[in-house]
Chains A and B, each alone.
Chain A
Amino acid sequence: MRDAFIRSLTEVAARDPAILLLTGDLGYGVLTDFADRFPRQFLNVGVAEQNMTGLATGLALEGHTVFTYSIGNFPTLRCLEQIRNDVCYHRANVKIVSVGCGMSYGPLGISHHATEDISIVRALPYITVVSPCDRWEATEATRALALQSGPTLLRLDKSSAPELNEPAEMFRIGKARIVRQGRHVTLVATGGILGEALTAADLLASDSIQCRVISMHTIKPLDVDALIASATETGGIVTIEEHTVEGGLGGAVAENLLEAGALPGFFLRIGLRSGFSSVIGSQQYLRHVHGLDATAVAQSVRSCLAGSPHQYVARACA
């Protein structure tokens, strides 16, 4: 998804000289082409995320569309107050791009696990939070965000779900995509882990369990209508995220459904529940360890349909 992002940004930057890309000294081999093609639109600010975000605000207030680029928590949590006070309060046209989200950098340890940023950043006023599931969504989201003014977090992880977009499909920020139809349960995922949801749906189909699968690429603003429809049209809702369940996608879905009075038949948040992962490993390995892979998702859905969703919670917290 990272490469899809930079290809898409290269296209839009060629048309719009007001677009700037700032990096906090990361992106080796990834940003080189952009930097060579657009030397006046590229800036490596050094290892200084607070400054990068403040600079981006100043540049945006002067009319630029500024993308800040780094990995994991560095462009978000390291400079959270600059995002809050400078970017968001001024509604500055700053697009924060974080690559390697979730446990993409699993072997590097918890400093590189971006597993709380959705909860934290979505609490900030005025910001749009986008978490694409595949290269197509990453490409389209980048194009769309370049045209939309205002603060944004674009979080990209290393994995990419299979691309299931229709040939003429339109991507819209804030509009969920139903990538698979089904009536027994709705799986709502954000980010590349949607691929696990799709595989889980295949596994469940062999048990005659039909899953609706939704890519909730925009977490803020949330497509509440799509969720209400799924709560009423399918047997229950399961949210899936490579992120803490506390305040993330699952939290956002729960808040909005409860407030709308649209209670699903059952509801389960699949995500990280057992604290920091001091155990390391590949993204796929850690998904398995933390009960986020397709097999675990399918098993949890079966438990839900059997009337005991708490089996998953007990297992995940063990």
Chain B
Amino acid sequence: MSATIFAPSTDASGSPHSHSRELARRVRIHVLRMTSRAGASHIGSAFSSADILAVLYGHVLRGRPTDSRWPARDRFVLSKGHAGSALYAVLAECGFFAVERLETFYQDGSELCGHVSHQGIPGVEVSTGSLGHGLSIASGMAFAAHLGSSSHRVFTLLSDGECDEGSTWEPALFASHHCLDNLVAIIDFNKIQSLAPVTDTLALEPLASKWTSFGWAVRDVDGHDHGALARVLGAVPFEKGKPSCLIAHTVKGKGVAFMEDTVLWHYRAARGEEFDRALAELETTE
């Protein structure tokens, strides 16, 4: 089987997860530059997902950046399409397309739209942007793999706000009924949705027991701990015959102190002194 997508560089430090941490750091810097240049929203959502994406592409997903349609690849569906900037940045860093293309994010004439699109962008399996679509599509892909006795897995990343959508729970029923243990749903549980904290909007807790009661095998993880993420995602399926749900506890805006854990950075783009401070913090992050 092919190696994971983002290969460690030869001069990586001794830490087994240093290369994915470096990937996450670069992704955050790209996202900062992309959203700042564009005046685009959702930097907080992209930052909360950055470590999950880096671990997926650095340690977990099997794929070939030079052959993005390789049939045996693991599929990844970004259901929280508003974190598209982070996915584009990961894919560019992995070599699916040139890093320079990230400069076109949100710009006139570009295909790199704010909510992720597959059109003309190697490595993006599915376009999303309206919440509550990704898990159904991923379930269809996982069901197809079962039908075809294919061994690839299907991973999808959902937001917590997305769990408000009834269309998230329809495939939740379906996937467990059909024992899709090749399907992994990761919830980026940063506890803040569009206007307010999740607890003030529509309480999701007890979230793990909801997924458990829907027939999924559920684990919790610190969504910024690369070692823990790599270990738990390396252990899927959590139970044979059940789809896996990983609740990744994250911090919205993670990586830039003044952006963390606030609704504001769901919308705001860093400019001027804010941009300089954010960049300085990310550049000095190990």
Q: Give A residues with C-beta under 8 Å from B.
A: 40, 43, 45-46, 48, 50-51, 53-64, 81-82, 85-86, 89-90
Contacts and interface: CB of A to CB of B under 8 A. Distances in A.
> Which applies to chain B's interface (DSSP): helix, strand, loop or mixed?
helix
Contact of B173 (A40, A48, A61, A90): A48
A62 B137 contact: no
A40 B147 CA distance: 8
B139 A55 contact: yes
A85 B173 contact: no
A16 B125 CA distance: 25
Interface stretch (B59-67, B128-136, B242-250): B128-136
A85 B166 CA distance: 17
Interface string B117-142: 01100000111111011011111111
Interface residues of B, number: 29
Contacts of B140: 54-62
Contacts of B3: none
B148 A57 contact: no
A85 B127 contact: yes
A63 to B, nearest CB: 7
B114 interface: no
Contact of B170 (A50, A57, A62, A89): A50
24 contacts: A46-B173, A48-B174, A50-B170, A51-B136, A51-B139, A51-B167, A54-B137, A54-B139, A54-B167, A54-B171, A55-B136, A55-B139, A55-B143, A55-B171, A57-B126, A58-B142, A60-B140, A61-B141, A62-B140, A81-B133, A82-B136, A85-B133, A86-B133, A90-B127
Interface of B: 118-119, 125-130, 132-133, 135-145, 147-148, 166-167, 170-171, 173-174
Q: Can you list the 7 inter-chain pairs with the closest CB atoms, starting with the nearest?
A: A58-B140, A54-B136, A62-B144, A51-B170, A55-B140, A48-B170, A58-B141
B22 to A, nearest CB: 32
| B118, B126, B137, B142: most-surrounded residue (chain A CB, <10 A) | B137
Given A48-B170, A48-B173, A89-B127, A53 B136 contact: yes
Given A43-B143, A58-B140, A85-B133, 9 more contacts: A48-B170, A51-B139, A54-B133, A55-B143, A55-B171, A56-B140, A58-B138, A61-B137, A89-B119
Nearest to B132: A50
A90 B127 CA distance: 8
A64 B126 CA distance: 16
B130 A58 contact: no
A43 B140 CA distance: 11
Given A51-B167, A54-B167, A64 B136 contact: no
B136 A58 contact: yes
B143 A58 contact: yes
B173 A58 contact: no
A59 B133 contact: no
A90 B126 contact: yes
A57 B128 CA distance: 12
Given A58-B138, A85-B133, A51 B174 contact: yes
B115 to A, nearest CB: 10
Contacts of B167: 50-51, 54, 82
A58 B170 contact: no
A46 B174 CA distance: 8
B171 to A, nearest CB: 5
Contacts of A48: 170, 173-174
A58 B137 contact: yes
B144 A59 contact: yes
Nearest to A20: B147
Contacts of B171: 51, 54-55
Nearest to B171: A51
Contacts of B144: 58-59, 62-64
A51 B145 CA distance: 18
A53 B171 CA distance: 11
Contacts of B119: 89
Contacts of B142: 58
Contact of B126 (A40, A51, A61): A61
B125 A61 contact: yes
A55 B126 CA distance: 13
A93 to B, nearest CB: 12
A75 to B, nearest CB: 14
Contacts of B137: 54-55, 57-58, 61, 86
B130 A85 contact: yes
B127 A58 contact: no
B243 to A, nearest CB: 14
